[in-house]
Copies of this chain bind each other. A is one copy, B any other.
């Protein structure tokens, strides 16, 4: 409940941000993943194969990048038959942005 970021004093300032927020930053700090992110424009839901095709990357690459993005909380996945459909994670993003903002509040 008590985040390492809130109410910090000089003595117990966090040295790194929490893993979830770090994963969020990594999930977006790559041109390829940014391109993938924009495929989920307007709530679109896409399979791994569709992402691979539209992003112009191999199928295994798409799978790996989507796993990272899922870990970063920017997309969610659900199985639909033999296909897995991904879409933007509105709530995950909202939370990550809030955490990031709280983290940065400490120093600036």
Contact = CB atoms under 8 A, between A and B. Distances in A.
A7 interface: no
A107 B38 contact: yes
Interface residues of A, number: 34
A77 interface: no
A4 to B, nearest CB: 11
Contact of A26 (B14, B29, B104): B29
Interface string A57-83: 000000000000000001000000000
Contact of A25 (B13, B14, B25, B90): B25
A28 B31 contact: no
The 6 A-B residue pairs with the shortest CB-CB distance in the complex, in nearest-first order: A88-B108, A25-B29, A90-B108, A88-B107, A29-B29, A40-B107
